[in-house]
Amino acid sequence: MAGKPMLHYFNGRGRMESTRWLLAAAGVEFEEKFIETAEDLDKLRNDGSLMFQQVPMVEIDGLKLAQTRAILNYIASKYNLYGKDIKERALIDMYSEGVADLGEMVLLLSITPPGEKEAKIAQIKERTLNRYFPAFEKVLKSHGQDYLVGNKLSRADIHLVELLYYVEELDSSLIANFPLLKALKARVSSFPMVKKFLQPGSQRKPPLDEESLEKARKIFKLK
């Protein structure tokens, strides 16, 4: 067996955080090699390690996997977090993509110009309250089980709980009228590996501060 998975990204949430969450919830220890400068990124490209010259990239089981979805799919399959048949998988995919849509809006907030930020936040809150939270609460209500799919923990639950934490950071009152979402968040958060991941000093990354944002801009040559 190869060693621990090695995550290549900058030291921030970005598009790698969902992978960190999934590995943590699956109880898999992983290592990280942080890209600190544009030169670090160039080196990875020149080494031929990045299929599409982009990160995230995860070295796992002899593979150099790029593309976030591919990485998450592999980890979910490997650790039995992807349902028991193709129908369950379809539901898991549907729920995960829904989470990703709202998650993308949150992700892009950090690079939204200050003048447009307020409007974007209002839009996120509106979508959360009127579309995404009711949709997931309805799923949980419909079968009354502890997890979204197949009465068993899957990647969908982990992705959703991760998102619930981001929404909480934005506005902790949004979840107030969604008792089943609150329960799911509490349930997944109480798993030993997740509990550890949630504690300070873990590999979970904080929101991007000004300094880290500047660093990321330089690495990825963003405006």
- Residues 189-208, mask of contacts with another protein (x by CB under 8 A): xx------------------
Dig out the tokens for 137 from the structure: 């609460």
Minimum gap (Å) between residue 180 Cβ and another protein: 5
Query: For another protein, which is the closer residue by CB, 199 or 221?
Result: 199
Question: How far apart are CB 190 and another protein at their closest, in Å?
Answer: 5
- Nearest alpha carbon to residue 70 among 91, 47, 50: 50
Binding range to another protein, per CB under 8 A, among 40-48, 64-72, 137-145, 152-160: 137-145
> In this structure, what is the dihedral angle of CA atoms 163, 204, 196, 158, given to the nearest 10 degrees?
30
Among 182, 196, 205, 218, the residue binding another protein under the rule CB under 8 A is: 182
To 10 degrees, what angle do helices 17-25 and 155-170 make? 130
Q: Sheet harboring 57-60: ordered strands across?
A: 31-34, 6-9, 57-60, 63-66
| Binding segment (CB under 8 A) for another protein, from list 73-81, 102-110, 113-121, 177-185 | 177-185
What φ, ψ does residue 193 adopt, rounded to 5°? -70, -35
Residue 173 touching another protein (CB under 8 A): yes
| 138 lies in the site for another protein, by CB under 8 A | yes
Give the amino acid at 43: K
Q: Which residues bind another protein (CB under 8 A)?
A: 138, 140-142, 144, 146, 173, 176-177, 179-180, 182-187, 189-190
